[in-house]
Structure 1
Amino acid sequence: MGARIICVVIGYLFGLFQTGYFYGKAHGIDIRQHGSGNAGTTNALRTLGKKAGAITLLGDAFKCVVAVLVTWFLFHNSQADIMPLLNLYTGAGVVLGHNYPFYLKFKGGKGIAATGGLIVAFNLPMAGIGLVTFALGYGITKYVSVGSLLVVTGFLIELVVFGQMGWFGMSGAHRIELYIVGAFLTLLAVWRHRENIKRLIHGTENKTYLSKKN
């Protein structure tokens, strides 16, 4: 249990680096006071343009990759049999730090880019599936929120399917724990997108055209 707590704490600390917020501040604005009011990729894109959106996406994904690498170096010898689980705990910590940064009064982003970074660090084939899922979801609907929710839901499904196929090499109890952490990440993403979901239901959700010049 101690290793799990350490992974969550490490993840949370990395998650505190709010790429969109710091990029906005460098350009004289707090992006949380514009657009949707959060510090994530989509709001950075809408508020500051494509360059800001790309930097925010990469920064928020990369911080999760680095956090997972740190925990791997710490535990890959002593906890090799449950490293996939510890990686997931680390990613959950990053998402929590990103979504609820204490120094910004717990007002951060929605955690999708950070989750994307987690999937990349966790398993590259699954990351490829996630990329295709987002591209299809966004390409068909032009709603970033739809693509994002499909990615996190798909990740949970992949965890269960591939876990049962023996991809992660863990015991049954640890696999169940892996699924629970994955379900937590999915439910957290749904919760953070609750307003988007309401707007989707009522047909008032904003579309984001990634090809639009900024």
Structure 2
Amino acid sequence: MERILCLLTGYVFGLFQTGYLYGKMHHIDIRQYGSGNSGTTNALRVMGKKAGLLVFMGDFLKTVFACLLVRLVMKGDPSVDLYVLYAGLGVVLGHNFPFYLHFKGGKGIASMAGILVSMDWRVTLVCASLFLGAVILTRYVSLGSILVVTAFFIQMVFFGLRGDYAVAEGDRMEFFAVAGVLMVMAIWRHRANIRRLLKGTENKLWGNKEK
């Protein structure tokens, strides 16, 4: 029951669609432009740097708040970090599949950033370095995002096996499974980007498409 409540709590927070709401304030539906997503990258491309920053912060903070709430409520539980991860998963699900927008949202990477910060500063540092390095060198946000979620999963397993997180020994495999679901879902949401990366036609952060 605790797991379901944490998941639902996260989903409710995830329903705050920053990109969609910001677009509506400017009389557009962001999902009708660019990539058709309501996330940070599309907001940046369609509405500019200010929009991109505000959308990122909104989607990032809603995850941080959801995870913090669950951490406070479940404080003292031997598997509190598992419940926090469930809350993060719920936020990503709410962000990606908001019921009131016909389940058409974003790809969840800014929300994933909120999970990183809520879980472990070491994981955050590694993932941020990978993302910035990939984007600076290649200008592909999608590539950086895929690297981030992959590194996130690997580190959750590594540090989890060391016993660095508040997860009861009997819940460790479940903890790794939830982290794996987050990784697989993010990669699946980027499936079109992956096809374009393989074909050399993916959109770059700035400049024209790769020829």
Tell me what 1:207 maps to.
Answer: 204
Q: Secondary structure at the match of 1:81?
A: coil
- Give the CA deviation at 1:174: 1.3
The counterpart of 1:168, out of the listed 141, 165, 181, is 165
Worse-matched range after superposition: 44-53 or 173-182? 173-182
1:129-172 per-position Cα deviation (integer Å, ceiling 9, x unaligned): 11111111112211000000100000000001111122114333
Residue 158 of structure 1 corresponds to which residue in structure 2?
155
* Residue of structure 2 in register with 1:3 after alignment: 2
The answer as to whether partners of 2:167 and 2:175 remain within 8 angstroms in 1 is no
Three-state SS of the structure 1 residue aligned to 2:107 is coil
Matching residue of 1:143: 140
Check 1:169–1:199 CA distance in 2 against 1; reply closer, same or farther (3 A cut).
Answer: same
From 88, 91, 103, the counterpart of 1:91: 88
Q: How far apart are the structure 2 equivalents of 1:136 and 1:71?
A: 32
3-state SS of paired residue (2:79): helix
Q: What CA distance in whole angstroms lies between the structure 2 residues aligned with 1:127 and 1:190?
A: 18
1:1-214 aligned at under 5 Å gives the runs: 2-77=1-76, 80-209=77-206
Which 5+ residue runs of structure 1 have no aligned equivalent? none
Query: Which runs of no fewer than 5 residues in structure 2 stay unpaired?
Result: none
Q: Note the C-alpha offset of 1:69.
A: 1.1
Tell me the secondary structure at the aligned position of residue 175 of structure 1. helix
Q: How many residues align?
A: 207
Greater mean alpha carbon deviation, residues 169-178 or residues 180-189: 169-178
How far apart in 1 are the matches of 2:167 and 2:28?
47
Q: Is 2:71–2:81's contact at 8 Å kept on the other side of the alignment?
A: no
Deviation for aligned residue 1:173: 2.6
* TM-score (norm. length: structure 2): 0.95
The one-letter code sitting in structure 2 at the alignment partner of 1:24 is G
Q: Distance in 1 between matches of 2:82 and 2:166?
A: 11
Q: Which runs of 4+ in 1 moved over 2 A?
A: 169-173
Compute the displacement of 1:127 (Å).
0.9
Measured against aligned partners, the alpha-carbon deviations of 1:34-82 in whole angstroms (never above 9, x if no partner) come to 00001000000000000000001111000000001111222114xx210
